[in-house]
Amino acid sequence: MTWLLRSQWLRYAVSALTVSIALLVTQLFNSWAIASPISLLVCLIAVLISAWYSGIGAGLTATGLSALFYSYCAVQSVESLASMTDNSVALGLFSVSGTLTSLLCGKLQDTTQHLEGRERNAIQQSKLYQRAQEFNTSLEREVQRRTAQLQLASDFEAALKRITDKVRDSLDEAQILQTVVQELGTSMGVNSCNAGLYDLNAGTSTIAYEYNPSILSFQGQVIQMSDCPELYAQLLTGQYCQFCPLHISPMRGRVAILACPIEDHQEVLGDLWLIIDRDYGFKDVDLRLAQQVATQCAITVRQARLYRAAQMQVAELEKLNQLKDDFLSTVSHELRTPVSNMKMSIRMLELTLAQRNPNGHADSKPAQYLQILRDECDREIKLINDLLDLQRLEAGSHLVECEILWLQHWLPSIVARFQERAQNRQQTLQMSLMPDLPALWVDSVSLERILTELLNNACKYTPPSETITVTGSRTSGGVQLQVGNTGIELTPDELSHIFDKFYRVVGSDRWKQGGTGLGLTLVQKLAAQMGMDLHVESAANQTAFTLVLPDSILDPQ
């Protein structure tokens, strides 16, 4: 019925068709006495069919067509006024009946369509509800599955983080491996977890560390790799292996085993074995956790071994350094006596020459030779004294005797000793002291040695026509003494080595004084022992050594 109602033309075609059929039927009863009532009844049936199947418009159309046909037939067969009146009444009743029938069928049709629509909507809603229920059920299952996956991932990350945090900062190989087997065995809930260390030269694996709460311990057992060539061939290539032994162990029974190599970028150091009941298959998350823990374990074990090797090298170097220091100390002590005898002999030679030439006209050659001997002897004595002082400073046995010192009165006498040397080399030596410098509680001998070495170093490397400046000032952190000179600038590489033992700036000894390269090393250590800071800066063709005396060494009075 629905497809007929989709087209307006089809509706009226059905109306015309039913009326035509009604007309044909009425022709069959044309000769009967009851032909008129029968034709009206047939036409009314046609109206009913048209209205039911095609709607109100088609029913009214069928009513009108039937009324026209009946009127035409009735006019032709009129015999009297009474019959005309009867036909008119019948026609009126037919028209009213047809109209009511059309309206009633239309309403019934609309009601039926509305009910069918509601039924269809109810069916669709039922299907949609069923689909929604199925979707919700599927969604709940998916949420549960995702939640389980997230929980596994969370447990995995938590276990990995816990193990990593415990072994990351450790440099003890034994502690690392024992922590790994303990935490991995606990996290995965296995029967046993052990770590084997490889000796590739001997072809063995030794179970060095074990977590084994329920069965007999195998710690210390040595396994020959040749007894299980297929297994260790796979592990030595960095691949994990999961298997169930064919032979049932009397102590373990039938079990499932996961073996992961402990491998870094250099070699396979060992393996981790996880042992659990035979009816258990290791999941992907178990494999990933075991592999990542094994990788982290390999990194930390390698670091621990490198640290241990470095510690052994440091100990060996300290031993060698101590032997060197002992040798220097011994040699220095042994050299001091003959050098002192040499100096005394030189002095005796000078006195002998003076006695032979009482008038002071000494031969220039012997005097020149004696001067060379004296200078070289003084140089050797300074070297020996520097070595011994340096040895005492490094050993912490240097004695410090503090006293009250006023820089305004004390420092000028130190600087004055170098005025003549600076004038002879056409250098300008200047001193500038602030008037408010406080009194110091300091070892004056050590401080004098520091400033003497710095002034000697400045005179040694300052070119002619340049300036050497000594300044003293009060700062927020204490007192600052600075010895600077112009005409020379050190490179960053030279600055980084300036305080190293036996280091000398190449090509900067303009006055050919020579030296041992121990002076600046000695004064820096001496300053550090006294609680001072000595540093150097060099820029814009100037170099300055700065000695900072903190407030702690100011006169407590």
- pLDDT tens, 74-115? 444 444 444 455 556 666 666 666 677 767 776 777 777 778
**Please, what sign has the CA dihedral across residues 296, 302, 304, 310?**
negative
May I ask the CATH architecture of the domain 172-309?
A: 2-Layer Sandwich (3.30)
Report pLDDT digits (tens) over 399-435: 677 888 888 888 899 899 889 888 988 989 999 988 8
Please name the residue ranges forming H helices in 189-283: 229-236
Can you give the pLDDT at residue 2? Answer: 45
CA 96, CA 497: separation in Å to the nearest integer?
Answer: 127
**Residue of 183 and 33 predicted with greater confidence:** 183
CA distances from 114 to 49, 118, 122, 389 (A): 20, 6, 12, 116
CA atoms within 13 A on the CB side of 61: 21
- Residue 385 exposure: Cα atoms within 13 Å on the Cβ side: 10
The 3-state DSSP class for residue 345 equals helix
pLDDT bracket for residue 204 (50, 70, 90) = very high
Taking CB atoms within 8 Å and a gap of at least 24, the contacts of 260-264 are: 260/290, 260/291, 260/293, 260/294, 261/235, 261/236, 261/294, 262/195, 262/294, 262/297, 262/298, 262/301, 263/238, 263/294, 263/295, 263/298, 264/295, 264/298, 264/299, 264/301, 264/302
Separation CA 233–CA 239 (nearest Å): 9
Which one is predicted more confidently, 280 or 473?
Answer: 473
Q: Which residue has the higher pLDDT, 454 or 251?
A: 454
Of 287, 273, 305, nearest to 160 by C-alpha is: 287
Beta bridge pairs of residue 135: none
Distances (CA, A) of 110 to 2, 107, 122: 12, 5, 18
CB 462 within 8 A of CB 505: no
Domain ranges of the chain: 2-132, 172-309, 403-553
374-383, 502-511, 541-550: least confidently modelled range: 502-511
pLDDT band at 1 (very low <50, low <70, confident <90, very high): very low
Q: Tell me the C-alpha distance between 466 and 422, whole Å.
A: 10
* CATH homologous superfamily for the domain 403-553: Histidine kinase-like ATPase, C-terminal domain (3.30.565.10)
